[in-house]
Amino acid sequence: MAKSEDIQKAFELAKAQYAELGVDVEEAMTKLENFQISLHCWQADDVGGFESPDAGLSGGIQATGNYPGKARNMEEHRKDVEKAMDLIPGKQRLNLHAIYGDFKGEVVDRDQIETRHFQSWIDWARDLGIGIDFNCTAFSHPKADDNFTLSHKNKDIRDFWIEHTKRCRRISVDMGKQLGTPCIHNIWIPDGSKDIPVDRYTHRALLKDSLDQIFAEKLPAEHLKDAIESKLFGIGVESMTVGSADFYLGYAIQNQTLICLDSGHFHPTEQVGDKISACLLFVPEILLHVTRPVRWDSDHVVTVNDDTLLIAQEIVRCDALERVHMGLDFFDASINRIGAYVVGTRAALQTMLFALLEPRKQLLEYENNGQLFERLALLELMKTKPFGAVWDSYCMQQDVPVSQDFIAEIQQYEKDVLSKR
C-alpha cells in the first residue's frame, strides 16, 4: 500500500518543481476533475449487448480474445462498469449502445425501441450521479448483413435504419433531459464494400439523404448533441467506406453537427491530435473515440503514447476542454476486461494531466521568438518532471487506489466475481 504521507510529501516537492516553470499544479488538477471521459459500455462484454444471447458481432469490427469472466447480463454488466468507475479518478459518463437496452426478455426490433427500454439505465446513472451518451446500433443485425444500412439501395432497409436512428435521437433527448446533462448521440454505420464498387456516388448520396431525414426532426440542443463518425475501412469492408472522412466532415460542417474522430479510423501516418484545431474552426464541438490502433484499427487498450498525448495536448493547447468530448472506443477480450477499462481510462486521464502540466506560457514565448531549440528542450524536460507524484496525489484526493494498488483490487474482483461466471 502506498503511504499517504509519502504521497503528500512527493506531491509538495513536485508542486514546487512545476511552479518554478510557471505551472499551477492545483489548477491543472481542478481542470482534470471537470473533464469527464465517456466510458464505452462495450468493453465489458465484447460489443455483445442484450438483444439476444447469441447475436454475433458484425459490421467489420472485432473483439479478439476469450478471457473468462465476461458480463453475461445487465446486472453483471452494471456491476463491472461500477467496479471500473470505482478505480478511476474523477467522474465518468457512460456511453451506451442501443443494443444494450433493458428489453426484459422481450424481442424488440431496432425500429421499435423507446425510452422505456433504457429507463433502468437512466435511473442507474442518476443514482450514480453520472451522465449518459448514446449510439444507434447499425450492425449485428440481419438488416445489416451485407454491410449497407443508411446508404442501402433498398429503400425498405434504409427506412428501417432511418427509423432506428430517429428513435435513438429521441431516446438521447430523454436521457439528457432526465439526467440534466446533454447526451451526445453518435452515428457510426458499417456501410461499405469489400471489393471495388463502381457506384460510390449513389451510396454517398443516399447516406446524405438518410441523414437529412434523420436530422430533419429538430430536437432540443440543450439535451442532445449530434455526432457523426467517419472511418477508413473495416474488416470485410476494405475497398470503400461510404461514411469516409471527407464525407462526414463535409456533412458536419454543412449541418453544424459534431464530428467524431476515432484514433483508429485514419491512415496510420495521420494523427487525430492534428485534426482537432482544424475541425474546431469549422464545427461547434468534437467527439473523440480514443483507442489504440496497433498497425490497423485494432482497438487495443489506450496507453500513454505519442498519439494519445498529442490528442490531449491539442485539447489543452486549443483551450478546448469544453468543446472536445472524450469517449473511449477499445475492446480487448484477451485480458481482464475490468483491468482493460481501468488501464485505458487512467491512461487517457494521465495524458490529459500531462498536457495540463505543460509550461504553456514559456513554450509559447519560445515559439513566437523563433527559439526552437529551447522549445524542444523544454518539451523534453517535461518528460522528466515528477508527473507521477501529481497523478498519485490526484488519485488519493479522488479516493481511488493510488499507484499500483488498483491491480490487487482487480485481481480480487476477478477472484470473487469474474471467475465465478
In the complex with ligand RNT, the residue whose CB is nearer, 169 or 289, is: 289
188 is a contact residue toward ligand RNT (CB under 6 A):
yes
Which residue from 141, 152, 164, 231 is in contact with ligand RNT, where contact means CB under 6 A?
Answer: 231
Kindly report the backbone phi and psi dihedral angles of residue 92, in degrees, each rounded to the nearest multiple of 5, phi listed first: -115, 165
Strand 132-135 to 92-97 pairing: parallel
Tell me if residue 297 is catalytic: yes
Q: Which of residues 237-266 bind Zn ion (CB under 5 A)?
A: 262
The residue number whose beta carbon is nearest to ligand RNT equals: 188
In the complex with ligand RNT, the residue whose CB is nearer, 34 or 52, is: 52
Tell me if residue 156 is catalytic: no
Minimum distance between the CB of residue 165 and ligand RNT, rounded to whole angstroms? 13
329 is a contact residue toward ligand RNT (CB under 6 A):
yes
140 is a contact residue toward ligand RNT (CB under 6 A):
no
Residue 18, binding choice from Zn ion, ligand RNT, none, Cβ under 5 to 8 Å by partner class = none
Size of the site for ligand RNT (CB under 6 A): 11
Active-site residue identified among 262, 314, 332, 358: 262
CB atoms within 10 A of CB 353: 21
Only one of the segments 13-21, 35-43, 51-59, 326-334 lies at the binding site for Zn ion (rule: CB under 5 A); that segment is 326-334
Q: For ligand RNT, what does the binding mask look like between residues 37 and 76, x meaning CB under 6 A?
A: -----x----x-------------x---------------
Residue 42, binding choice from ligand RNT, Zn ion, none, Cβ under 5 to 8 Å by partner class = ligand RNT
Q: Which of residues 259-318 bind ligand RNT (CB under 6 A)?
A: 262, 289
- Compute the C-alpha angle 8/14/20, nearest 5°: 140
Q: Which of residues 236-265 bind ligand RNT (CB under 6 A)?
A: 262
Q: For ligand RNT, what does the binding mask look like between residues 95 and 134, x meaning CB under 6 A?
A: --x-------------------------------------
* Pairwise CA distance, residues 370 & 118, whole Å: 55
Residue 61, binding choice from ligand RNT, Zn ion, none, Cβ under 5 to 8 Å by partner class = ligand RNT
Tell me if residue 262 is catalytic: yes
Residue 231, binding choice from Zn ion, ligand RNT, none, Cβ under 5 to 8 Å by partner class = ligand RNT
Residue 47, binding choice from ligand RNT, Zn ion, none, Cβ under 5 to 8 Å by partner class = ligand RNT
**Longest alpha-carbon distance in the chain:** 67
In the complex with ligand RNT, the residue whose CB is nearer, 288 or 353, is: 288
**Residues of the shown chain interacting with Zn ion in the complex, contacts defined by CB under 5 A:** 262, 289, 329
**Residues of the shown chain interacting with ligand RNT in the complex, contacts defined by CB under 6 A:** 42, 47, 61, 97, 135, 188, 229, 231, 262, 289, 329
Active site residue ranges: 188, 229, 231, 262, 265, 289, 297, 299, 329
